[in-house]
Every structure is written in C-alpha cells, then in structure tokens.
C-alpha cells in the first residue's frame, strides 16, 4: 500500500474501488475485501440519504409554491381554500415525516458502520434536519397565510 492511500497518514485520496483492492485498514484491524465493499456501500448509502433529505425538502417547497401560484392566479372560494389547506397540510406533514424517516435511516447506517465514539448517531446532522423542517413548515405557513388573508370576492359563492 503506497503513501497516497494510507489512511494512517491522513493522505487518503483514493476511490473506493482502489481502496478495496489495496485492503485499507479501518480502525485497528484490516478488513477483508467483502467487508471493504460493504463499508464503501454503507458510506455511499449515507451520502445518498443525506441527498434525499434535500430532495424531499425541495419537492415539498416546490409543491407548496405551486399552490401559492394557483391561489395568486385565480381567486379561490371558501370550499376551494379548505381543500387547498388540506393539501398544504398533507404536503408539509408528509415532507417533514419523510425527513425524520431519512434521519432515522442515517442513524441505522451509522450504527451499522460501528462508530465507537458516536454516542447518539441520530443527533449527527440534526442541525441540517432542523433547517430543512423549518423551511418546509415556514413555506406551508406562508402559503396558508396568503391563502386565507385575501377576502373572498362578492361574486363568488361563500
């Protein structure tokens, strides 16, 4: 194993396939090739789940902005506003639920990786999770405010 891929020297810059072939040392013991492949796939799973959190938040905010645009384009009567409110709550609720489920998944993968110094892996990255939940919730509240702050016109049946 050359110095350029030696994790003990802090110079590890190789890709996972190179690391698997060279039998990288993870912690105090060398892992076999199948263990290296599994560990690399778990790190990829962590990266994937973190990206999915951003995609879920983006999708929720995009759907909420679509409802906002619809409300701004055409004036909704009271029954339509009630239906839109249910949609807004559903979108925000499912978005936040999926964000928390992804955080639980991240915790499970971290536990599988076996970090000994990680006392509570669920809390790692919870600051980002909090911001994403806040963005979804705030977007929902803003859309609800503008949805219900406009008076129903006299021509529409209320």
Instruction: For 62-94, write each residue's pLDDT tens digit.
Output: 999 999 998 889 888 999 999 999 999 999 999
pLDDT band at 34 (very low <50, low <70, confident <90, very high): low
In this structure, are 8 and 73 located in the same domain? no
96 belongs to a structural domain = yes
> By residue range, what is the domain housing residue 132?
42-149
Cα dihedral value 8, 10, 16, 17, nearest 10:
-70
157 belongs to a structural domain = no
Domain count, the chain: 2
* Model confidence, pTM: 0.69
For residue 38, the model assigns a pLDDT of 79
In this structure, are 63 and 130 located in the same domain? yes
In this structure, are 2 and 62 located in the same domain? no
Residue 107 dihedral angles phi and psi, to the nearest 5°: -60, -45
Q: What span, in angstroms and rounded, lies between the C-alpha atoms of 75 and 153?
A: 8
158 belongs to a structural domain = no
In this structure, are 13 and 72 located in the same domain? no
In this structure, are 46 and 100 located in the same domain? yes
67 belongs to a structural domain = yes
Q: What span, in angstroms and rounded, lies between the C-alpha atoms of 136 and 52?
A: 14
Instruction: For 21-33, write each residue's pLDDT tens digit.
Output: 444 444 444 555 5
Q: What span, in angstroms and rounded, lies between the C-alpha atoms of 30 and 36?
A: 9
For residue 120, the model assigns a pLDDT of 85
For residue 139, the model assigns a pLDDT of 96
Residue from 100, 12, 7 nearest 53 by CA: 100
In this structure, are 67 and 127 located in the same domain? yes
In this structure, are 21 and 59 located in the same domain? no
Q: What span, in angstroms and rounded, lies between the C-alpha atoms of 90 and 77?
A: 20
137 belongs to a structural domain = yes
For residue 143, the model assigns a pLDDT of 95
156 belongs to a structural domain = no
In this structure, are 53 and 111 located in the same domain? yes
């Amino acid at each position: 194993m050359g110095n350029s891929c030696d994790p003990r020297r802090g110079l590890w810059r190789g890709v996972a396939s190179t690391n698997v072939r060279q039998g990288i040392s993870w912690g105090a013991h060398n892992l076999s090739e199948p263990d290296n492949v599994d560990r690399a796939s778990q790190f990829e799973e962590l990266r994937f789940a973190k990206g999915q959190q951003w995609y879920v938040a983006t999708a929720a905010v995009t759907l909420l902005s679509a409802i906002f645009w619809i409300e701004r384009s055409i004036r909704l009567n009271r029954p339509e506003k009630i239906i839109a409110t249910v949609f807004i709550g559903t979108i925000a609720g499912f978005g936040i639920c999926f964000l928390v489920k992804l955080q639980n998944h991240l915790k499970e993968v971290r536990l599988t990786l076996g970090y000994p110094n990680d006392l509570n892996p669920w809390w790692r990255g919870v600051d980002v999770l909090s911001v994403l939940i806040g963005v979804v919730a705030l977007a929902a509240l803003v859309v609800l405010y503008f949805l219900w702050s406009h008076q129903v016109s006299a021509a529409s049946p209320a």
